[in-house]
Structure 1
Amino acid sequence: MASIVERPKKDGSITYQVRWRDGGGRGGSIQTENFGDLPPAEQFRDLVNAHGQHWPHGWVRGQGFVEEKPIPGDQPLLDFAYRYVKRLTGVDKRTRDDYERELRLHLSRIAHTTAAGLVVPATVCNVVADDIVDWVRLQEDGLKDPEKPGEWLYRKADPKSIRNRHGLAFCVFQAAAEADPPLRATNPCKGTNLPRVDNEVDEEMCFLEREEFEFIRDQIKDPDAVDMVDWLVSTGMRWGEASALQVRDLTLDGDRPTARVVRAWKKAEKGSEGGAFYLGPPKTKKARRTLRLSPSQVEMLRRRTAGLGDRAFVFQTVMGKHWRHANFYNRKWAPAVKEAMTKGLSKRPRLHDLRHTHVAWLIAARMPLPKIQTRLGHESISTTVDRYGHLLEGLDDEISDVVEAMLSVPVQQRLRVVRGA
């Protein structure tokens, strides 16, 4: 820890020397800074301790903190970020609205701490890596309301949200660095140590055994709602995809009946034109996919689509409208889950957990992950592995049995099998 040593002078006055070992270890070199009065020496000592026994950022020995000078062409960070988002190409309106909401609610909390410890608004040029670290920690810790115990001024964020917001900030600063002429030399988001997301996967997902799903299904009295949950768990479709399915997306005749995923419901930014929801493309390019149907699915779809026009929704309410997630969840799914729990069910699944349950059943049936990736519409196989790879652990015993059986075969016979002899 830094300490203060009094150093008397020949004229009888006293100077105050702050001393510490660089980094705090015994092997660190001794560093000193001198002051004519005790209060500034104490403040500097506290700064050294706060910086892990290193020189405070921006402090020049013998001069103190050097005032930061305005950078020509600099501009508020949010102004540049909004222009960056508005000029993005290849994204739909919903995605652009989401980005602008992230800017308004979260990237707006990025601030710059000057060398003198003063917090000032963030600009394109003044933000440094330490400012990004402070922003990430704010999201991890949240900000409690000092006047209202138990309430938050800014709630904690989960690791996935923090990573998504950091990714957006990275793109904004990268655009500034690659501008012509460049607005800054480096990207302050590079190298940020972000929270891991893999520890939360198991907690977020809920997998139902077939008996558990049937138990919940039995509590649903509306036949239309039963058809919807059957479809969700048997296809693994996202809610926005299933509720947007139209008659024209189905091919029920022939040897290979199919359902095509070509659109999904999107939620618009509040206050935007066109209402709260609109039909748009699926989540990603690979989310556009074609699913092979089973005979029981074909039978259900024929019953549901009899007499309907091509653009009619396959899954409708009794009023002939498409199902909205909130209405379906609150009126059909949540009451059924609650009733099942009063009768002994130990889980509280969300509607989206029917997608996870679909995957669990496929893995239990030994379906390869690449095929599951295609069926779910994941953009990358890594997404499938990250979310569901842990379910493959149940196959470890069978794999080890196969390896043991192979090793028990004589070498020459093993070689013939490998070579196809």
Structure 2
Amino acid sequence: MASIVERPKKDGTSTFQVRWRQDGRVQTENFSEGPAAETFKGLVEAHGNRWPHGWVRGKGFVDEPQIPGDVPFTDYATRYVDRLTGIDERTREDYHREVRIHLALLKHTDAAGREHEATICNLTQDDVTDWVRIEEAGEADPADPEKWLRRPADPKSIANRHGLMFCIVQAAIDSEPQLRTANCCKRTKLPRVDDHTDEEMTFLERDEYQRIAAEIKDPDARDLADWLVGTGMRWGEATALKVSDLNLTTERPSVSVQRAWKKAKKGAPGGAFYLGPPKTKKARRVLRLSPAQVEVARRQSTGRRPDDFLFRAAMGGEWRHANFYNRKWMPAVAAAVAKGLPKKPRIHDLRHTHASWLIASRIPLPAIQIRLGHESIQTTVDRYGHLEQGLDDDIAAAVEAAMGAPSPRSRLRSVG
């Protein structure tokens, strides 16, 4: 523990000496005022009875030296996003918004507890941790505690923004000349995604889906819902299918996923959506169709040209998510709930439901990864791995059988 010794002077004033032991040696620092000595004593103790980082004896905290090429973090981040290749303009716009609204909350706190503007060079692991807490807490409206100036971010959003931050900092490490030597985002403890309860995945049993489907009175809308739950395709993939993507003439009928609807950059000509590549490279895939899906495909493609969309709304154009959701899906869900259905699934939950049905049928996760077009098996495991608990009985039975049967070597000894 540190202590303070007051030393009276002949003129009636006093100096105050902070004393402590560090590595067996007495260390001291002098102050002309008691409150300053008390503050420094607290800093020494907070640092484990050691000199506070950045403190120079007799001078106090010395400002951190400027590094050549250092710039505000948001400026560096903006330039990084501008120079990214291989992304569409909508994604670039999304990244700029994340930098402008969320990464701009980063601050650098020095050893004395003083806040500074975050730069690409002064950012530390503690600063990143502080940012995570700010994102988790949100910012309430001081004029109305029931409202938010900035809502608390969910764990998935924080993880996505942290991933962008990691790449930005890594760019400074890989730059020439090098601006950093270590990535301060590397060991950040992020909130667990599975601690979040909003927008939970909803898995429907077959009879539960049928109760909703029975309430969809538009046969074309019913065909689309059946297709989504039967193939596990994303909404943007299924509604972008064209007749030419079907292969129904072989013994193994299939459909090829080659494109998906993308949200356009705000103000872009041609509307809010456009056709682009699927979400990931592995989202380009060929799906085997069941007899029921072949029947839907034939019904929807009969009399259509190869370049026509497979699924079409009432006026003959492509389906829009808001139109289907508000006019077809939600009224059907509401009707089913009124008749006792205990769940309120979203359209995307049809994809989750498809995965759960495959797992219940003992389809292995790597095959489900391919079916759903996940870029990584980890995505499949993270989202659906917990559903494999239904295999525990099979695993236990297999282990019991193996442990209970005599080994080949012991059988040989008994024969001999």
Is the 1:201–1:387 Cα contact (8 Å) retained in structure 2?
Answer: no
Q: What do residues 182-224 of structure 1 show as CA deviations (whole Å, max 9, x unaligned)?
A: 1233322222222222434897211111111111111211111
Structure 1 residues 257 and 44: alpha-carbon distance in aligned structure 2, compared to 1, 3 A threshold: same
Structure 1 residues 415 and 400: alpha-carbon distance in aligned structure 2, compared to 1, 3 A threshold: farther
Is the 2:5–2:18 Cα contact (8 Å) retained in structure 1?
Answer: no
The number of equivalent residue pairs is 411
Query: TM-score w.r.t. structure 2 length?
Result: 0.90
1:345 to 341, 344, 347: 341
In structure 1, distance between residues paired with 2:243 and 2:143: 55
Structure 2: runs of 5 or more not aligned: none
Aligned: 1:270 with 2:266 = yes
Aligned: 1:15 with 2:11 = no
Aligned: 1:383 with 2:379 = yes
The corresponding residue for 1:279 is: 275
In structure 2, distance between residues paired with 1:196 and 1:260: 35
Is the 1:373–1:384 Cα contact (8 Å) retained in structure 2?
Answer: yes
Structure 1 residues 317 and 144: alpha-carbon distance in aligned structure 2, compared to 1, 3 A threshold: same
2:167 to 160, 168, 171: 171
1:138 to 120, 134, 140: 134
Amino acid at match of 2:358: L
How far is 1:114 from its partner? Answer: 3.9
Task: Report the secondary structure of 1:149's partner residue.
Answer: strand
The corresponding residue for 1:374 is: 370
In structure 2, distance between residues paired with 1:265 and 1:187: 36
In structure 2, distance between residues paired with 1:353 and 1:90: 30
Amino acid at match of 2:4: V
1:112 to 103, 108, 111: 108
How far is 1:273 from its partner? Answer: 4.1
Amino acid at match of 2:36: P
How far is 1:125 from its partner? Answer: 2.1
Amino acid at match of 1:38: G
How far is 1:28 from its partner? Answer: 10
Aligned: 1:64 with 2:60 = yes
The corresponding residue for 2:392 is: 396
Structure 1 residues 330 and 203: alpha-carbon distance in aligned structure 2, compared to 1, 3 A threshold: closer
In structure 1, distance between residues paired with 2:179 and 2:253: 55
Structure 1 residues 117 and 290: alpha-carbon distance in aligned structure 2, compared to 1, 3 A threshold: same
Is the 2:202–2:343 Cα contact (8 Å) retained in structure 1?
Answer: yes
Structure 1 residues 370 and 415: alpha-carbon distance in aligned structure 2, compared to 1, 3 A threshold: farther
How far is 1:52 from its partner? Answer: 7.7
2:78 to 77, 82, 90: 82
Task: Report the secondary structure of 2:296's partner residue.
Answer: helix
Is the 1:97–1:268 Cα contact (8 Å) retained in structure 2?
Answer: no
In structure 2, distance between residues paired with 1:290 and 1:69: 57
How far is 1:299 from its partner? Answer: 1.2
Structure 1 residues 43 and 219: alpha-carbon distance in aligned structure 2, compared to 1, 3 A threshold: same
Structure 1: runs of 5 or more not aligned: 417-421
Is the 2:2–2:21 Cα contact (8 Å) retained in structure 1?
Answer: no
The corresponding residue for 2:325 is: 329
2:87 to 84, 88, 91: 91
2:204 to 187, 205, 208: 208
In structure 2, distance between residues paired with 1:93 and 1:414: 68
In structure 1, distance between residues paired with 2:70 and 2:106: 16
Query: TM-score w.r.t. structure 1 length?
Result: 0.89
Task: Report the secondary structure of 1:387's partner residue.
Answer: helix
Aligned CA RMSD, in angstroms, stands at 2.7
Task: Report the secondary structure of 1:151's partner residue.
Answer: strand
Identity %: 61
How far is 1:262 from its partner? Answer: 0.8
Is the 2:246–2:255 Cα contact (8 Å) retained in structure 1?
Answer: yes
In structure 2, distance between residues paired with 1:407 and 1:372: 31
The corresponding residue for 1:419 is: none
In structure 2, distance between residues paired with 1:373 and 1:361: 14
How far is 1:410 from its partner? Answer: 3.5
